[in-house]
Amino acid sequence: MSYRSVFRPDLFKGRNVIVTGGGSGIGRCTAHELASLGARVALVGRKEDKLKTVQAEIIEDGGDALWFTCDIREEDKVRETVAAIIAAMGPIHGLVNNAGGQFPSPLNMINQKGWETVIRTNLTGGFLMAREVFNQSMEKHGGSIVNIIADMWGGMPGMGHSGAARAGMDNFTKTAAYEWGRAGVRVNAVAPGWVASSGMDTYPEAFKQVIRTLKSAVPLKRLGEEAEISAAIVFLLSDAAGFISGDTVRVDGAASQGNIAISPLVDHNNSKPFDGFHRAVPPALFQEDDNAGD
């Protein structure tokens, strides 16, 4: 089997695209879709074993990928990694700023170290990657950057550190789009809502119980799929989005648009997910629910 993208074959032929956080979740899915469309993908992450696994998957499926370990929170390492990617692949045509991470906690329980770690991961790291890609390549050749943020317009109770970082990344997206437009560089963002991704399995059991109820607050009455986020990213990277810059696309099933206390949601089963990623693995917590019902 191969990736079932809605985009035409060879859409990214001859283009080099970096995907941070490419070893799992949305990053892994996006890397697969880009590779299936002809891109040469640079997988960036902290864990070598995960990157090697995704590279092997892409190559087995007929695509092309290299991997580079990097902690995007470290300025010198980011600078060195971007230089190494350019040396190995040539000019960078696209950057998917996907790497991130957080932990659930009420604000009053987050210490300074925890707060700063999440800010560095979800805001500072994305800035450093984008800056170095621009300075070392895109300022000369143009390109497209897509930052992955989150649904934080109503705040992020229980993850206030991540909400603050993602809001900052949304603003950075707008500023970079304006400042770097002079070089033909487009900068946009994608804000996923609740997506059935492997990252859900990393949360404590108490928070997993919350995750199991999330679809009830989504008008489409389901969680998103990784392929649905990837499709939005690929569109923004593509020439079809050539006059879109400084925008943030929400991919959340309209969950951020209303208030269920004022306008209760009706149960239905009319929205079907886009099943494009042939190697997708549902979060284990949902598989456990399915097995419990057998």
Q: What's the whole-model pTM score?
A: 0.90
**Predicted local confidence at residue 255, as pLDDT:** 86
**Predicted local confidence at residue 258, as pLDDT:** 75
Q: pLDDT tens, position by position, for the chain (294 residues)?
A: 799 999 999 999 999 999 999 999 999 999 999 999 999 999 999 999 999 999 999 999 999 999 999 999 999 999 999 999 999 999 999 999 999 988 889 999 999 999 999 999 999 999 999 999 999 999 999 999 999 999 999 899 999 999 999 999 999 999 999 999 999 999 999 999 988 877 777 777 777 788 788 888 888 988 999 999 999 999 999 999 999 999 999 999 988 887 666 677 888 888 888 888 888 888 877 766 555 444
**Predicted local confidence at residue 204, as pLDDT:** 74
Q: Say if residues 94 and 237 touch (Cβ distance below 8 Å).
A: yes
Residue 54 tokens, joined = 């995704």
**Predicted local confidence at residue 103, as pLDDT:** 87
- CA–CA dist 142, 139 (Å, integer): 6
Helix (H, G, I), strand (E, B) or coil at 220: coil
Residue 165 tokens, joined = 């970082």
When the candidates are 2.60.120.1440, 3.30.365.10, 3.40.50.720, 3.40.50.1820, the CATH number that belongs to 16-292 is 3.40.50.720
**Predicted local confidence at residue 294, as pLDDT:** 45
State the number of CA atoms in the 13 A half-sphere of 177 facing the CB. Answer: 20
Buried (b) or exposed (e) across 177-207, using 16+ Cβ within 10 A?
A: beebeeeebbbbbbbbbbbbbbbbbebeeeb
